[in-house]
Amino acid sequence: MIFNSRVHFHPVSWNLSTFLGLFLAVLVIPGCYSFKGISIPQGATTFYVHNFEDVSDLQLPNYNITFTETLKDKIRNESRLRWNDQDAEIEFRGKIVGFTVSAVSPEVGATTAFNRLEVSVEVTYINNLTPETGWTKRFSQFDNFPSNQNLLEAQEDILPGINKLLMEYIFNAAFTDW
């Protein structure tokens, strides 16, 4: 076996250069990429969510407040933006435009097995740094509940799931170019 003594491997310098390279990458990457896949507009640090107005025909008590607070929490918890109620760079406005209850899954004898609650909201996204990127969109989500339950009984079970999906849709539309 021939051993070449002229080849020298310096693990300390290799580890140091690797460490420095990784350290620089960690400093640079967060500025241009988010590990959650979100893209906050450059320069934006604050957001504000105006209270959503409920203009639907079937209004659930305090739902507009719950919806507004849920959207605030979603943005607060899943982005780097800070809440600011004055001069925020990103704003959300909107209204609850529909609560629709309809019968689904007809059974033999003209009865239904389930009722469906569909919630529709209209959201306006305002980017005060680049106003041309703003939009107004409508989002809807539904869930079914047993026909032997009335809406007031079912809402505690189904509204959290509906809200969760609506928040995902709104958040993705605003921060992932979805």
- 178 residues of the chain, pLDDT tens digit each: 454 445 444 444 545 555 444 444 444 444 333 345 678 888 999 999 999 999 999 888 899 999 999 999 999 999 999 999 999 999 999 999 999 998 886 666 656 788 999 999 999 999 999 999 999 999 999 999 998 888 888 888 999 999 999 999 999 999 986 5
Q: Is residue 2 part of a domain?
A: no
Triad 160, 161, 165: Cα angle to 5°: 115
Contact criterion met (CB below 8 Å) for 100 and 141: no
Overall residue count recorded for the chain in this entry: 178
| Host domain of residue 53 | 11-175
Would you call 91 helix, strand, or coil by DSSP? strand
**Residue at 4 is within a domain:** no
| Structural domain contains residue 101 | yes
The answer as to whether 6 is a domain residue is no
| Sign of the CA dihedral with 90 first, then 162, 63, and 56 last | positive
- Here the tokens at position 106 are 């007809």
Q: In this structure, what CATH number is given to the domain that contains residue 127?
A: 3.30.160.150
**Residue 3 lies inside a defined structural domain of this protein:** no
Domain count, the chain: 1
CB-facing half-sphere around the CA of 80: CA atoms within 13 A: 15
